[in-house]
Structures are given as C-alpha cells and as structure tokens.
C-alpha cells in the first residue's frame, strides 16, 4: 500500500498556477506526491519548501537540490522560510488531516479499525496523547472538546461514561474506549459516531485548529502579490476556517471596510465553491470523499 495517495492532484497544481522559476511551499509533505508533482513543473531556478512534523514522512524525501525539507509543524512556516532566505513565496499548498499511512499504521492509534494504544500524535516527540487527554482532562474540558471538535450531540453522556470508566481503570486503548462508551454509541451509526469521537481527540492532541489558524495568517504574510493559497480540508471545522479566512481575512468571515467604506479583502477567491473529487477518484481512493479544495489569490 502506498504511503499516501495525493487527493485532487491535478486541481491542486492548477490552483497553484506554478511559475517554473517560482518559490512554493508544501506544508503537508506526507508521502511527497504533491511535492514531486510541483518539482516536475519547476525549472532549475525554482524552489520548493516542504514541511512535515511526522518523522516517518522524512523517509519519502527525494534528493533534489531545489527541495528543502523542514521536519516541523507548519505553524512555524514563516520562521523557517525566513531562516532559509525566503521572505516571499508564490504559492502555499496544504493537504490537511491524516495521511493514509498514519491511519494504516495500527500502533499510531488514529484508526477505529485497530485495537491499539490511544496515541494519535502526528509529532511523535510530543508528550500529549489521546490516552493522556481521556484520563487527565476534567469533565468540562472533555465536553468542550467533544462538542467543538467532534460536534458530538450527546457529549455530556459520552463524558460521563468516560469519567466513570477511568475511575476503575485508565483508558489506554481504542477497544477500551469503544467499550466504555458503547451505551451512548448509536446502533447502525456506530462508525460515524466513533469517527467524530476520534476526530475530536486527534484535533486536541495535535492542536490542529490553532496550527491551521497560524498557517492561514502566516500564508497571508509570506505570499507575494498574486501568490496562491491552496487548501484541502476534510471536515467542516477546517473548511469553515479556510472559507472565512479566504473570504474576509478573519476567522468569522466578516467583511471589513476601509476608511471610504470600500470592502477590504486580502484575497481574490479563485473558487467560489469548494472543488470536490469526481466519482472516479472517490471510488479509487475512498479517503478522498470528504475532501474540499479552496483556492485564493493574494491581492
């Protein structure tokens, strides 16, 4: 099985509108599919910076003088670009979420399919895990997390079951978690429900929403005029943030006006509605089904 099959590859490349001598950033390197495709469109003077905090991703980096790989979270993009002498770039690409490799490696704890330790760290040097959150967070913090990041309807009941279960024994594996919350998991919709629970934990473990906010803000700062921001998201929380920021330059999506009452927007929307994979791609790669691609150009 491949490390990760790049989603909407052609559409991402078109969205970046690549100049052969340009400078580009792939903030989610993963298996390197998007990065390799970008490199094919660059000439000898072009540059690509690729970020990934998962140490497994470093094994996929090709030997190419035009590529600089940064083994860090993309929330530090601006600083590392500056260190490498790139103050302005022509395009930033982000393929958010979890790679196929991370889902398929049972011991990483991302998937509901395996009985594994509740880990879920994208950066394996981090101290915080899904297990530590479940066992150490107080009930109010857990409720907030499941409501905000999982949009779980019965979060109060869910947290009560977790709190009761962890008194008897620490919850450290996926099967323990599933068993402890079985009575509030809807019949025939158990997969969708557990996916929301796992999503909330993963977002909290990896501070994903804060990292995304940092990335979007920094993209606005590092993109050159006419530079492209290309972002692919996989759940509504991410997509809403991306949509609002591209539309207005803020998280709420509220339009700002200048002194003269003219609407002030930092981006020109290239996509009014998100691009989604065609049926053929969804059939070939089931994980692409929830993908939404948005593209904007800095004014």
Distance of CA 63 to the CA centre of its chain: 26
pLDDT digits (tens, 9 = 90+) for 266-281: 999 999 999 999 999 9
What percent of the chain has pLDDT above 70? Answer: 95
Whole-number pLDDT of residue 100: 58
- Burial (CB < 10 A; 0-12, 13-18, 19+), residue 183, is exposed
Distance, CA of 238 to CA of 94 (rounded, Å)? 11
Whole-number pLDDT of residue 101: 54
Residue 69 has pLDDT above 90, yes or no: yes
pLDDT digits (tens, 9 = 90+) for 218-243: 999 999 999 999 999 999 999 999 99
Whole-number pLDDT of residue 107: 64
* Between 41 and 104, residue with greater pLDDT: 41
What does the pLDDT average to over 52-56? 89
Residue 53 has pLDDT above 70, yes or no: yes
What percent of the chain has pLDDT above 90? Answer: 82
Distance, CA of 151 to CA of 158 (rounded, Å)? 12
Whole-number pLDDT of residue 109: 60
Whole-number pLDDT of residue 29: 95
At residue 1 the predicted structure's pLDDT band, cuts being 50, 70 and 90, is very low
What does the pLDDT average to over 37-56? 96
Whole-number pLDDT of residue 290: 92
Average pLDDT over the chain reads: 93
pLDDT digits (tens, 9 = 90+) for 155-175: 999 999 999 999 999 999 999
Tokens 């977790």 sit on residue: 162
Q: Domains of the chain by range and CATH?
A: 9-100+208-298 (3.40.50.150), 127-205 (1.10.150.170)
Residue 185 has pLDDT above 90, yes or no: yes
Whole-number pLDDT of residue 8: 95
Residue 104 has pLDDT above 80, yes or no: no
pLDDT digits (tens, 9 = 90+) for 127-157: 999 999 999 999 999 999 999 999 999 999 9
Task: List, as one string, the DSSP characters of the chain.
Answer: --S-PPTTHHHHHHHHT--TT-EEEES--TTSHHHHHHHHH--TT-EEEEE---GGGGGG----TTEEEE-S-GGGHHHHHHHTT-S-EEEEEEE-S--HHHHH-GGG---TTS--BS---SSTT-S--HHHHHHHS-HHHHHHHHHHHH--TTHHHHHHHHHHHHHHS---BHHHHHHHTGGGSPTT-HHHHHHHHHHHHHHHHTTHHHHHHHHHHHHHHHEEEEEEEEEEESSHHHHHHHHHHHHHSSTT-PPEE-TTS-EE-SEEES-SS-B---HHHHHH-GGGTT-EEEEEEE-
């Amino acid at each position: 099985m491949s490390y990760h099959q790049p989603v909407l590859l052609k559409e991402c490349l078109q969205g970046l509108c690549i100049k052969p001598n340009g400078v580009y950033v792939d903030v989610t390197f993963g298996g390197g599919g998007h990065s390799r495709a970008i490199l094919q469109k660059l000439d000898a003077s072009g540059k690509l910076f690729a970020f990934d905090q998962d140490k497994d991703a470093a094994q996929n980096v090709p030997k190419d003088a035009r590529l600089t790989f940064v083994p860090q979270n993309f929330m530090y993009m601006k600083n590392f670009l500056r260190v490498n002498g790139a103050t302005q770039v022509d395009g930033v690409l982000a393929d958010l979420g979890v790679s196929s490799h991370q889902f398929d490696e049972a011991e990483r704890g991302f998937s509901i399919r395996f009985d594994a330790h509740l880990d879920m760290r994208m950066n394996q040097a981090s101290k915080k895990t899904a297990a530590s959150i479940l066992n150490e967070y107080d009930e109010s913090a857990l409720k907030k997390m499941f409501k905000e990041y999982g949009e779980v309807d019965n979060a109060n009941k869910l947290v009560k079951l977790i709190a009761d279960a962890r008194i008897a024994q620490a919850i450290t594996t996926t099967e323990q978690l599933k068993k402890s919350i079985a009575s509030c998991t809807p019949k025939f919709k158990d997969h969708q429900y557990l996916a929301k629970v796992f999503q909330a934990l993963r977002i909290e473990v990896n501070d994903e929403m804060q990292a995304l906010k940092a990335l979007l803000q920094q993209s606005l700062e590092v993109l050159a005029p006419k530079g492209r921001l290309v972002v692919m998201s996989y759940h509504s929380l991410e997509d809403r943030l991306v949509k609002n920021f591209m539309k207005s330059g803020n998280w709420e999506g509220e339009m700002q006006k200048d002194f003269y009452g003219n609407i002030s927007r930092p981006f020109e929307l290239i996509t009014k509605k998100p691009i989604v994979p065609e049926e053929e791609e969804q059939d070939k790669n089931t994980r692409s089904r929830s993908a939404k691609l948005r593209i904007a150009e800095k004014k």
